[in-house]
Amino acid sequence: MIYTVWLPLLLPFLAGPAARRLVSRLAPRQAVRVLALTAAGLAAGSTAALALLVVPGATHVPAVAEVGRLLTPLTPHPAVPPGAPAVAAACVALVLLLLCTGLLVRGLLRHRAQLLRAQRLAAGARSELLVLPDEAPDAYALPGRPGRIVVTAGMLRALSPGEREALLAHERSHLRGRHHRHTAVMTLAALCHPALGALREPLAYALERCADEDAARAVGDRHLTARAIAKAALAARTPGSDGRPGLALAATAGPVPRRVAALLEHGSAAGSARSRRATGLAPACALLSCLALSALSAVDAAGDLHTSIEIAQGERRPR
Task: Write out the chain's pLDDT in tens, 319 residues.
Answer: 557 888 999 999 999 899 988 888 888 999 999 999 999 999 999 999 998 888 776 666 666 666 666 656 665 544 344 556 667 777 888 899 999 999 999 999 988 888 887 777 766 667 788 888 888 888 888 887 778 898 989 999 999 999 999 999 999 999 999 999 999 999 999 999 999 999 999 999 999 999 999 999 999 999 999 999 999 998 886 544 456 677 788 888 888 999 999 898 865 544 445 555 556 688 889 999 999 999 999 888 888 776 776 666 665 544 4
| Cβ neighbours around 220 below 10 Å, total | 9
Q: Are strands 148-152 and 139-142 parallel, antiparallel or unpaired?
A: antiparallel
Angstrom CA distances, 39 to 65, 189, 205, 288, stand at 35, 6, 15, 10
178: left (phi over 0), alpha (psi -120 to 50) or beta: left
Burial string for 235-252 (b: 16+ CB within 10 Å, else e) reads bbeebeeeebbebbbbbb
* Among candidate residues 147, 141, 143, the one with its CA nearest the CA of residue 127: 147
For residue 132, what are the β-bridge partners? 152
* Among candidate residues 253, 162, 156, 246, the one with its CA nearest the CA of residue 204: 253
Q: How far is CA 224 from the centre of its chain?
A: 30
pLDDT at 163: 94
Give the integer Cα–Cα distance in Å for 105 and 68. Answer: 29
Task: Tell me whether the omega of the peptide bond preceding residue 28 falls within 30 degrees of 0, making it cis.
Answer: no
43: left (phi over 0), alpha (psi -120 to 50) or beta: alpha
Q: Are 42 and 294 in contact (CB under 8 A)?
A: yes
Q: Are 162 and 219 in contact (CB under 8 A)?
A: yes
Q: Are 129 and 149 in contact (CB under 8 A)?
A: yes
Q: Are 136 and 240 in contact (CB under 8 A)?
A: no
* Among candidate residues 152, 153, 213, 156, the one with its CA nearest the CA of residue 179: 213
300 three-class SS: helix
Q: What predicted TM-score, i.e. pTM, was given to this entire model? A: 0.84
CB-facing half-sphere around the CA of 230: CA atoms within 13 A:
14
Q: 271-276 long-range CB contacts below 8 Å, 24 or more apart?
A: 276/25, 276/26
| Cβ neighbours around 171 below 10 Å, total | 26
Q: 153-157 long-range CB contacts below 8 Å, 24 or more apart?
A: 154/235, 155/232, 155/235, 155/236, 156/131
Amino acid at residue number 103: L
Give the integer Cα–Cα distance in Å for 251 and 158. Answer: 14
85 three-class SS: helix
* Among candidate residues 224, 205, 115, 78, the one with its CA nearest the CA of residue 164: 224
**∠ at Cα 9 (8, 15), nearest 5°?**
80
